[in-house]
A = this chain, B = another copy of it.
Amino acid sequence: MSIRIGIVGYGNIGRGVECAVLQNPDMELKAVFTRRDPENVSILTDTAQVCRVDDIIKWQGELDVVILCGGSATDLPVQTPEYAKYFNVIDTFDTHAKIPEHFANVDKSAKENGKLALISVGWDPGLFSIARLYSSSVLPQGQDYTFWGYGVSQGHSDAIRRVEGVKDAKQYTVPIEEAIDAVRNGENPTLTTAQKHIRECFVVLEDGADPVKVEETIKNMPNYFADYNTIVHFISEDELKEKHSEIPHGGVVLRSGVTGLNGEHHHVIEYKLKLDSNPEFTSSVVIAYARAVYRLANEGQTGCKTVFDIAPSYLSALSGEELRATML
């Protein structure tokens, strides 16, 4: 029997989850739940239904894992604790500072209702967090570094779009290779986020806007750009569409540490992602963890968990025996 998946929210992540389900023969998408009129939402999976999100509770017992694909700002803080009353759920909550609070809310709700919830799945938080955990456990005397990019930052792109005179924009976060190399060489540099990244902006101006003024406004925007080496390119709307409509991302997590009686040997652990599509990759991580949630729920586990709490073998479609024979 397949693992029966439900999706709440059909944006980039929702569509990515749908595609990821299709790559995994042990899973089946049963339904997509949307706030829009289902008549107007067309999905890729013929055998799945499109339903109003308000009707989801009728699906109790019909779905093994429900993937919550809303935003971290306002959707997930409400949706995850709510739907964990009725289903085993996974979300991609990525507001790092609010994870403890979110965890507590979801844990309470899931435990009270005998469900299993897994929060903050993806690559950061997610695979990058796992890399940090393994590396720091193995090299307790060391330092962690995370670099992001080359990739599109949605938040920074939005910030540019709010500038007067800007019609559209895309912002790429670019890691500074020299800084990464300094870490690789064991120099243990002290680096702020601004010292690790360049911000490269591709901006389409409104007719008649002043490029000098727009560029200055962007470069001086506090928090977003003021502390960074920011590069602004003005391009046409056509060029933006043609060359900047994809959503690549990635980054690298490094741990530089020492071993030996006097720390005489240096080691570098590096975990790097280069992703053509941020939402599709995030969704692929989520779907691997859906397998884990399904299995752990069948073992009777309840409450809220994170990727830290899940043994790697639960993610794979292969048996323990197969894994030991082929992958260990």
Contact = CB atoms under 8 A, between A and B. Distances in A.
Interface in A65-105: 96, 99-100, 103
Nearest to A273: B269
A274 B280 contact: no
Given A103-B324, A315-B133, A271 B271 contact: yes
Interface string A290-328: 010000000000000011111111011100110111011
A134 B320 CA distance: 14
A96 B328 CA distance: 7
Interface stretch (A34-42, A136-144, A194-202): A136-144
Integer count of this chain's copies in the complex: 2
Interface string A1-28: 0000000000000001001101110000
Contacts of A103: 324
Contacts of A320: 308-309
A51 interface: no
A232 interface: no
Contact of A284 (B127, B139, B284, B309): B139
A113 interface: no
Interface residues of A, number: 68
Nearest to A20: B259
B308 A281 contact: no
B285 A138 contact: yes
A272 interface: yes
A214 interface: no
Contact of A308 (B261, B309, B312): B312
A323 B133 contact: yes
A273 B267 contact: yes
Contacts of A22: 261
Enumerate the 4 nearest inter-chain pairs by beta-carbon distance, A residue then B residue, closest first.
A265-B277, A137-B315, A265-B276, A259-B280
25 contacts: A19-B260, A22-B261, A23-B141, A24-B140, A103-B324, A127-B134, A127-B138, A127-B269, A131-B271, A133-B313, A133-B315, A134-B288, A137-B312, A138-B284, A139-B284, A140-B317, A259-B284, A265-B275, A265-B280, A267-B275, A306-B324, A307-B312, A308-B324, A308-B328, A309-B313
